[in-house]
A and B are shown apart, each in its own frame.
Chain A
Amino acid sequence: MNRRLLVFVLVLTLGVLLCSNVTILAKTNLNVLGIGMSYEASQLLIEAFESKHPDISVRMDVIPWDGYYAKMLSNIRAAQYDVYYIPQLLPITYNDAYLEPLEKYAEQEGPEFLQQFFPDVLAIGYRPDRKGQLHLYAIPFDADARYVMYDKSIFDAYGCEYLDPEGNYTIRDLKELALKMTGINPMTGEQTYGLALRANPMDYYFPTFIGSLGKDVFDYEFGSKEAYFESPEVTEVLETMVELVEAGAAGPEVLAAAGTPPQFTTDINPYAIVIGMGADTVLPEIAPRRDRIGIAALPKNPVTGKGGPAFFHGWAMDKRSRVKDAAWEWLKFGATDDAQMIVFQQQISGWPVVQRWYDWNVSHPIVSPDKDIPVNSIPELFVVHEQFMSSTPNLVDNWVKVRSVIREEIGNLLALEKTVEQVQADLQSRVVEAMNDPLWTW
């Protein structure tokens, strides 16, 4: 009797195992590498995808943003995943060597597939291969931009006008405001500082500041190895920075490595204007403090109409993947309303990248958790949209090295360790050298 029971249990177990294995074997396994997204967000994405593609099983690993760059490159080199969530700053050789060009896949979907994205954001997905040919290496998933934020209470106390949300102002206007709002707040008696300048994210803003005077420091063309740091506009911006530091308008922590002063969103904030903060703070931190904190686009170049940069994150496919069709389904899925809604509501690492997003009526866990509201009625998102529609192309080639040079040289200037002339000359020579680095340019 016991033996019979044992045989029955064994047969049953074997049957169950076999059935489950058959189900697993019938599915295509897709390995995905994400960065920085919450477990909840990744699960929501997987569930939404698998419900549409029951034949594909997704396994997603997520690495944190901290130190992501080296980790991401190691994983790409080792062909660990079929799909990678990548920011735009991948070395050019990596595109060519490890990533699948996606034009042919996109073409099969018809012209409207790529037309749905913000054009300036989509443009970042195109990167040169080693021969200098442009290819689409990533399908946009979410994007972020940088903004100027200001403390309305400090502006009111000094009787200053708020910044134009569309970014129609210049570095000269910022300087004038910063100098005016540095001192003892006439309403509270507390010390205030006009503009929290920081060397660390200066690689993003410095070209924008110069652009606001009608002159760009880069051609923003693939293959271009020219930089224009010797112009009078660059001199003016550098002198402005020195003037702000010497007047104490930049605050006491001007050289701190951290970008945005953490006290900005607190009640003890002494800074009138702050540059920075990402998508993860705009609605959670800024929108609830709308009465006190204003937000504006970075200053625009009056000649080209372009403002601050947009930051792109997209899904890229590994060239060596054995499940490319499944991988493409994932990439395509990232642009659907289902996935883009998760981007918006879960605040993954940026904002949706499809243009229709701005016309949505939708709820948001922080701004409007209970009812749908038009996205375009949220004042902070007006600025985000404005940045997406008019973003300066990112530093197309040599991104990481050029960024480091700018940060370092502006740091030297803000520490008053180098003169304006020295910084200008070093910026010109070192940036051009970095742009000609054989590892970064072909």
Chain B
Amino acid sequence: MKRTSILREIWKARKWYLFVAPVCILFAVFLLYPVVQSFRLSFFITDLYYQEFVGLQNYKTILTDRNFWLAIYNTFYLGFFHVLLGIPPALLLANLLNKKIRGRNILRVLYYLPHVTSIVAVSVVWSYLFDVNYGPLNYILKLVGLPTSKWIAHPSTSKLSIVLMTVWHGLGYRMVIVLAGLQSIPRQLYEAAEIDGADGRKQFFHITLPLLQPTIAFLVITATIKALQRFDEVYMFGTELGMPSRSLSTIVLYLYERGFMYNEFGIASAAAYVLFVIILAITIVNLKLNKKTQMT
């Protein structure tokens, strides 16, 4: 009886279901099915032609694989320093460009420009900048009497070189987000602070920074997600092995290597699910922290 009434309701609203059907079908075909299928594959040794059920062996393989943990370490290293070194310059720049200075709009466009450039093209250009022998970066260091660096050519400096490039590439984007956050802070607060005798530094630390907290939290979350998906630039510099010495191998690169270089789709699927658990854990921590911040 109940079932019949549900069906009747659906039939009544059929045209609305028809409207949402394309999205549902696309979601099922391109998202739901791959998610379920890759979960199934994670229990098989397979190259998509040959398949053999192996239970949890693929999970054991990756959790005992030194290269997997190295990829996790590299991913978090790149993510942490990207956030740490990426947000302060954006704050500074956005503050400067929020002031009434000449050519402010042109400067905003100029700083935003790198972000619209493809990261692949950016990587190619930066590979010339990083050249140990003839790169302009080492030339400038030499010119001012500083020791030169091996940049991407050595595992000890390669990760920070990538951070430097990605900080530059995303600076404009972060600046625009912070700028939007700054412009949403009511002017009256600054006027009141000025009347109370607060100088610029005090205004920044007691008004700007606290009120920018949601913006900064947004930047941290998006940067963390981006860090976990890092692929293009590390692939461009370090090939699928994240060279030199796997110092640029990230989780997604590891997935690519196992799945598309060695055709080990079972292992790649298992790694994807481990990555899913990591992202889930980070998201839960993030949500809890956000809740706490909101409550305080």
Bits for A4-30, please: 1 = Cβ < 8 Å to B, else 0.
000000000000000000000000000
Whole-angstrom CA separation of A69 from B239 in the bound complex: 13
Query: Chain B contacts of A130 at CB under 8 A?
Result: 50
Q: Is the CB of B49 within 8 A of A415?
A: no
How many chain B residues touch the partner (CB < 8 A)?
Answer: 33
Q: Are A200 and B239 in touch, CB under 8 angstroms?
A: yes
Chain B 51-74 per-residue mask, 1 if CB under 8 angstroms from chain A, else 0: 010000000000000000000000
* Distance of A200 Cα from B245 Cα, bound (Å): 10
Q: Are A404 and B134 in contact (CB under 8 A)?
A: no
Which of the candidate stretches B165-173, B201-209, B257-265 sits at the interface with the other chain? B257-265
Over the window 224-243 of chain B, the binary record of Cβ atoms lying under 8 Å from chain A Cβ atoms (1 yes, 0 no) is 00000000000001111101
Shortest Cβ gap from A88 to chain B (Å)? 15
Neighbouring B residues of A256 by C-beta, 8 Å: 132, 152-153, 244
Residue of A nearest to B249 (CB): A408
Identify whether the interface residues of A are mostly helix, strand, loop, or mixed. loop
- Tally of contact residues, A, Cβ under 8 A: 36
Could you give, for residues 56-83 of chain A, a 1 whenever the CB lies within 8 Å of some chain B CB and a 0 otherwise? 0000000000000110010001000000
Given the interface pairs A69-B261, A256-B153, A439-B264, the reply to whether A93 lies near B243 with Cβ below 8 Å is no
Asked if A113 lies at the interface with its beta carbon under 8 angstroms from chain B, I say: no
Among B2-19, those with CB < 8 Å from A are: none
Q: Which residue of B lies closest to A76 (CB)?
A: B49
Q: A93-B47, A270-B133, A400-B261 are in contact. Are A408 and B153 (CB under 8 A)?
A: no
Contact B246 A439 (CB under 8 A): no
Determine whether the beta carbon of A401 is less than 8 Å from that of B262. yes
Which one of A256, A401, A404 has the highest number of Cβ atoms from chain B below 10 Å of its Cβ?
A: A256
Q: Is A111 an interface residue (CB 8 A)?
A: no
Bound CA span A437–B241, Å:
19
Restricting to A174-199, which residues have a CB under 8 Å from any CB of B?
199
Q: Which residues of A contact B (CB under 8 A)?
A: 69-70, 73, 77, 91, 93-94, 97-98, 130, 199-200, 251-258, 263, 268, 270, 400-401, 404, 407-408, 411-412, 415, 417, 437-440
Query: Which residues in B have some Cβ–Cβ distance to A below 8 Å?
Result: 45-50, 52, 127, 131-134, 150, 152-155, 237-241, 243-246, 256-257, 260-264
- Subset of 8 A-B contacts with CB under 8 Å: A69-B261, A94-B47, A98-B49, A253-B132, A255-B150, A256-B244, A257-B239, A408-B246
